Amino acid sequence: MNRHINRSASLFLLLLHVLPLMYLISDSFGCRLEAAFPLWMAGLCLTMWISVSFRHGVFIGLPFSALLLYAAYRHYGQSLVPELTDLLDRITGAYYEHFYAPGSSYLYADGVLSHSLIFIFLGFLIASYMATALSSRSGRVALGLIGSLPIFAACIAVNGRPDAWIIVCLLLFWILLVIGGGTYEPEANNGQAVFAAALPAALLLCGLLAVFNPSEYSYDSQDVAISRRFDSFGSAIKSWMGGSLSETMLLPDLSDSGAPASLPAYVSGWQSGGEMDLTQAYDPSSRESLILRVRADTGGYTYLRGISYGDYTGTGWLPAESAAPGSSLGFAAAAAAGEAEHEMQLRMVAGGEYMFLPYYCGLSSGSDLCVPLDKSSYTVRYHIPRDAGSLHLPEDYAAAELEYRSYAHDYYTRLPQSTGDAMLAVAAGAGIYPDSPGLIEAVAALVQASVPYDLNTEPYPSTDYALYFFNGAESGYCVHYATAAAAMYRALGVPARVTEGFLFDSQAREFTDVRGKDAHAWVEVYLDGLGWLPVEVTGSGAAQTAPAPQQNPTSESAAPEDTAGEEAESGGGAAPSPGTESLPVGLIGTQDNREKIQARAIEFPAWILCVLPVLFLAAFPFLWRAALVHFRRRAMAGRDGGKAAVAIWQQAKKVSRFGGEIPLEIVSCAEKAAFSTHEITVSELQNCHALLEEMTKNLYRGLNPAKKIVFKYMHGLI
């Protein structure tokens, strides 16, 4: 009985050590673990415990460990290398901020959403070591402390105050480890001592924690003096290893205390003093400038809205007047009725004055053109509309939209008289009139097909860029297309304005660097009852014949992968390079993005996380018994008759512990094999086999149900 208690105590100590230690590491370095992580770790601890606790357990434990690791690898999208890279980056940053350059802020790559996979592999290594240490017949306490104290100290050095439950569990582990003794003997009373002390020790630790609340700790002068000595020691080591970093290696501050004052010219010359100036040629110097980092739970082509403009000057756009009755930015907040919300995290790197936001996120402000930036890192939730039919206006915005609608139709249809007349003439030449069906898509298609895309387009020799785009331009890039489209929409009576921001391709649940080359401009049109909706109008690398108007909006990610990807590489217009297909025509949606994520999700159903451990636990007794029976029969049926006779006696001895007596023939045959040179005949072995089988069956019939389970499944004796 002590053997079983000792094994159970080892499993208890293993779980008590591994689980809180993994959460201590994750909390110390800001890593994120998913809800199913404890199940994975419990399964790995169980398999490693089996490997070291039973004679042939390695043949069961290690294969099941490998199976669990492979299942985790498949479930988490084979993200081991990115997670390892991000974990090492976080460890580097934590120690950099605390010891090497106190007060500075490390620029974390923050490249993954979850670190569960790398922590599963790390937990497997720790569990393997600790399971071996706890089953050691000498130095058990020393090995256990070596495997836990250094990691604990390294985490505390940067964490300071971990969660209370982590401290309680680890202190309890160390106390019970010492109580359990320095050696592991299967028949000793170590396990009983561990279980007897577990509850009193846990209650004592919880009581001490309640009395000495960590949130109320205060530090006296002696504590401060000790801390300063450690700091001095660290400074001496740093000086010995080569001094401090040069100023050129200092990293920017990304704290949330506030946003930097201004945004660099990420639009490569379009923006000047709050205006969009079309007379300046594209400046490629900021192509590789890192502006922000973005991570969302969906992937694909993403539009981030920055700021819109109101008044057309002929050579650019001015900010809209401030007479708007409130902000319209949140009108389409619930544009995807019945659709699940998605989350996007954004971190400004270069600074800025306004937020970059995905469409249908519902954020609004006093400004009708942008949402002011109040901190450098922020998270938003947004919807993904299936198509135009799924768009609707939340009831909370109905009254505000009615008030804003008349303003939009008045202000955002204004144009110089000459420009308006010329735009109507161009539209009529293409068969487009104010009452034409599919008006929005028809105008977008006309604009896209008018001139080829060329990022090196020189400033137009005209004071009316919208008109020149149709009548004289040989090329253009996104701001030219957007200007021409907005002017034509206005001339046809559709409220429209130019909007700038970013267009980039991203992977789900991974951070994407958004750079100057991803800057883009498009058009927003106002639809009554909904608000401002984005329309893509940028053309391709070669002029085309205008396609027929499209009745349904095209999703943003419907752009071929060889299109938008090349757009980003071509420069700040985020438009296709010559010879590629054009961006989608019309209203921007994200249907294809959602389909990609769903297709990726069904590769490994999430319910397997719950079913797999249950199936493993249910099948384990049968697999364990099958393994024991296999090895027992193999030993008793060996070619060496002497070894087989001894194996039969050993099996009979195990059976006799449940109350039976070993037949004398089995004992004498084993003694003959062990202490004489006579060979054991086949008939003698067959007789011993028969006696053992009869002894086992008779004893099994007389056992109670509980002992029958132990006899059959724990020991595999029948």
Residue 84: other Cβ atoms inside 10 A: 16
Residues 6+ apart with CB under 8 A from 86: 109, 110, 111, 112, 115
Q: Which two tokens stand for residue 120?
A: 């599963």
Cβ–Cβ under 8 Å, residues 326 and 231: no
Rg (CA), the chain: 36
State the 10-residue block means of pLDDT for the chain, 718 residues long: 81 93 90 89 92 85 90 84 86 78 65 85 93 85 89 84 85 90 76 85 82 56 52 54 38 35 42 73 79 85 89 90 80 62 84 84 82 83 74 80 90 93 94 91 91 90 94 92 95 94 86 87 90 86 38 34 36 35 48 34 45 67 79 78 85 85 87 83 86 87 83 80
Long-range contacts of 250-256 (CB under 8 A, 24+ apart): 250/101, 250/104, 251/104, 251/105, 251/106, 251/107, 252/105, 252/107, 252/349, 253/104, 253/105, 254/105, 254/107, 254/108, 254/347, 254/349, 254/376, 254/377, 255/105, 255/376, 256/375, 256/376, 256/377
pLDDT score, position 242: 47
C-alpha atoms less than 13 angstroms from C-alpha of 413 in its C-beta half-sphere: 16
Instruction: Catalogue the long-range contacts made by 102-106 (C-beta closer than 8 Å, 24 or more residues apart).
Output: 104/250, 104/251, 104/253, 105/251, 105/252, 105/253, 105/254, 105/255, 106/251
Task: Look at residue 372 and give its three-state secondary structure.
Answer: strand
Q: Are 326 and 404 in contact (CB under 8 A)?
A: yes
What DSSP letter does each residue of 588-641 carry, written as one string? EE-HHHHHHHHHHHTTS-TTHHHHHHHHHHHHHHHHHHHHHHHHHHHHHT-S-H
The backbone torsions φ and ψ at residue 554, rounded to the nearest 5 degrees and listed phi first, read -95, 140
Q: Which residues pair with 312 in a beta bridge?
A: 317
**Residue 219 burial by CB count (10 A; 0-12/13-18/19+): exposed, middle or buried?**
exposed
Buried b (16+ CB within 10 A) or exposed e, 334-352: bbbeebeebebbbbbbbbb
Supply 291's token pair. Answer: 């502006």
* Selection from 461, 448, 455, 562 nearest residue 505 by Cα: 562
CA 169/CA 161 separation, integer angstroms: 14
Phi, psi of 343 (to 5 degrees): -120, 140
List, in order, residues 6 or more apart from 41 with CB less than 8 Å away.
18, 19, 22, 120, 123, 127
Contact 184, 6 (CB under 8 A): yes
Domain boundaries, the chain: 2-213, 271-601, 625-714
322 three-class SS: coil
Q: Is the dihedral of CA 360, 364, 367, 372 positive or negative?
A: negative
| Amino acid at residue number 560 | P
Residue with tokens 């989608």: 584
For position 570, what pLDDT does the model report? Answer: 38
Strands of the 300-308 sheet, one edge to the other: 357-358, 300-308, 496-506, 519-527, 531-536, 586-589, 554-555
Give the global pTM: 0.49
Which position has the token pair 């790559």? 109
Distance between CA atoms of 45 and 458, rounded to whole angstroms? 66
- For residue 527, list its beta bridge partners: 531
Phi, psi angles (nearest 5°) of residue 260:
-60, 165
